[in-house]
């Protein structure tokens, strides 16, 4: 099995299924590992992801960037784009999926039918085939057909530090201070603050 398919297999174990989105994340991760090296120590590599869809699991599974460690940051821009910084020397880049890799009209039509009236056996097979084709294309097509690379000069986002917690005066739950709201002299957590707001 080729290296990229080995990486895909590892990511599928983490993600739970194989899909084109994950394949894109794997292709990105494989380039990042080549360009910025394997993450020597855990927080060496920082990633800002502009999507929270399947693709980001390829990054989490292969690059050592995870939400829990604080070196994976989500900016909810809805773009298939990932920025990476190597802390040791500041080397950084942004990788973007080429639009052509994002949609296939036949697949969209079949998916829509699957969700409404359902697919017959042939259509289901075709969809499966198309999906596998797409996965292979994302993993194997020439790099310039799949991804765009941009250099980055901005510094990496600052590392997350452990923050003091406050107790919400309504639900009494301990809440990271930076996430609390103040209302009429009370310290509130976000859900309690939003409940007030909804009334």
Instruction: Give yes or no for residue 54 binding Zn ion (CB under 5 A).
Output: yes
Instruction: Give yes or no for residue 26 binding Zn ion (CB under 5 A).
Output: no
* From 63-71, 128-136, 138-146, 190-198, span contacting Zn ion (CB under 5 A): 190-198
Burial of 1 (0-12, 13-18, 19+ CB in 10 A): exposed
Burial of 25 (0-12, 13-18, 19+ CB in 10 A): buried
* Residue closer to Zn ion, measured from CB, 46 or 168: 168
Choose, by CB under 5 A, the member of 170, 181, 183, 187 that binds Zn ion. Answer: 170
CB of 52 to Zn ion, least distance (A): 12
Instruction: Give yes or no for residue 192 binding Zn ion (CB under 5 A).
Output: yes
* Residue closer to Zn ion, measured from CB, 22 or 29: 22
What's the CA gap between 183 and 169, in Å, rounded?
Answer: 10
User: Which string of DSSP letters, residue by residue, matches 178-189?
Assistant: GG-EEETTEEE-
Q: Residues binding Zn ion: what is the number (CB under 5 A)?
A: 8
Residue 174 contacts residue 165 (beta carbons within 8 Å): yes
Q: Which tokens is 106 given?
A: 């036949």
Instruction: Give yes or no for residue 56 binding Zn ion (CB under 5 A).
Output: no
Which residues of the chain form contacts with Zn ion (CB under 5 A)?
A: 19, 22, 54, 168, 170-171, 189, 192
């Amino acid at each position: 099995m080729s290296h990229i398919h080995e990486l895909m297999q590892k990511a599928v174990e983490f993600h739970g299924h194989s899909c084109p989105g994950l394949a894109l994340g794997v292709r990105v991760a494989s380039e990042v590992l080549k360009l910025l090296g394997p993450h020597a120590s855990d927080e060496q590599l920082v990633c800002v992801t502009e999507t929270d869809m399947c693709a980001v699991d390829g990054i989490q599974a292969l690059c050592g960037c995870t939400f829990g460690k604080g070196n994976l940051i989500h900016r909810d821009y809805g773009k298939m784009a990932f920025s990476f910084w190597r802390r040791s020397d500041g080397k950084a880049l942004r990788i973007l999926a080429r639009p052509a890799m994002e949609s296939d009209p036949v697949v969209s039509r079949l998916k829509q039918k699957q969700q409404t009236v359902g697919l017959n056996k042939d259509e289901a097979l075709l969809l499966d085939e198309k999906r596998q084709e797409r996965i292979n294309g994302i993993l194997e097509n020439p790099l310039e057909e799949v991804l765009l690379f941009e250099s980055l000069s901005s510094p990496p986002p600052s590392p997350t530090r452990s923050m003091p917690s406050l107790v919400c005066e309504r639900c009494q739950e301990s809440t990271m201070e930076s996430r609390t709201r103040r209302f009429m002299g009370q310290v509130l957590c976000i859900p309690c603050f939003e409940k007030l707001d909804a009334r």
